[in-house]
Amino acid sequence: MKVSEAVLARKSIRAFTKKSISNSLIKELLIRASRSPSGGNLQPWRVCVINDKSMQNFLDFQSAWDTPEKPGYEIYPPNLKEPYRTSRYELGEQMYYLLDIERDNKAARIEQVLKNFNFFGAPAALFCFIDKDMGPPQWSDLGMFLQTFMLLAQEEGIDTCAQEAWSLKSDSIQNFFNISDSEMLFCGMAIGIRDSEAIIKQLDSDRRPTDSWAQIF
């Protein structure tokens, strides 16, 4: 698979089969992804993988956690402005239309959102952490690392879904993995094989016209 093919094939999968992914393959993908760009070669990422039994242990731990949690960060800016607000709104409406969930069916919409917290049924997942002393350049390194991992996974026929929603549960996650207070959770990522029978597989997010965000001089 060419890089260009992997870029076009990758998308955020929100319904997975239970087909297992080996830890050895996930580790190999992480090793390859570590070659992604990193300013000053800081390699600021810390990654924790859960799979099979450890996945179930994590989900059980989450179910038993009863302490209120404070979000690790705001996923979107407050009062999100245009054109970003419309992009986000249209994606949500497109998804709920596919799932036949009406706007006033708040319970069904919440139920769909909550599927984030079982990784949409994926058999494996990772969490990515970063030292709190790091700044915007190192956060961009995380993004490049995660994108590289997702493209390499796609090359192997493995699907993913990067999930910033897990920042809402950062306290319990850091407790489970015994992560130091000097570090913080950035995101989770579901890892598995897409469910080709799921209606939501049809969801393809649009991109704004190139001329609206790029200028070539």
DSSP letters, 146-167, are HHHHHHHHHHTT-EEEEEGGGG
DSSP 38: -
Show the tokens assigned to 35: 């070659």
The domain limits of the chain are 3-69+117-204
pLDDT score, position 42: 96
pLDDT in tens, 131-142: 999 999 999 999
Q: How much is the pLDDT for 1?
A: 87
Residue with tokens 């989900």: 59
Q: Which amino acid is at 144?
A: M
Q: Which residue shows structure tokens 């570090």?
A: 183
Instruction: Answer yes or no: are the C-beta atoms of 171 and 206 closer than 8 Å.
Output: no
Q: What's the CA gap between 186 and 143, in Å, rounded? A: 10
**Chain segment 176-205, per-residue pLDDT in tens:** 999 999 999 999 999 999 999 999 988 989
What local confidence, expressed as pLDDT, does residue 201 receive?
A: 85
Low-confidence stretches of the chain (pLDDT < 50) are: none
3-69+117-204 folds as NADH Oxidase (3.40.109)
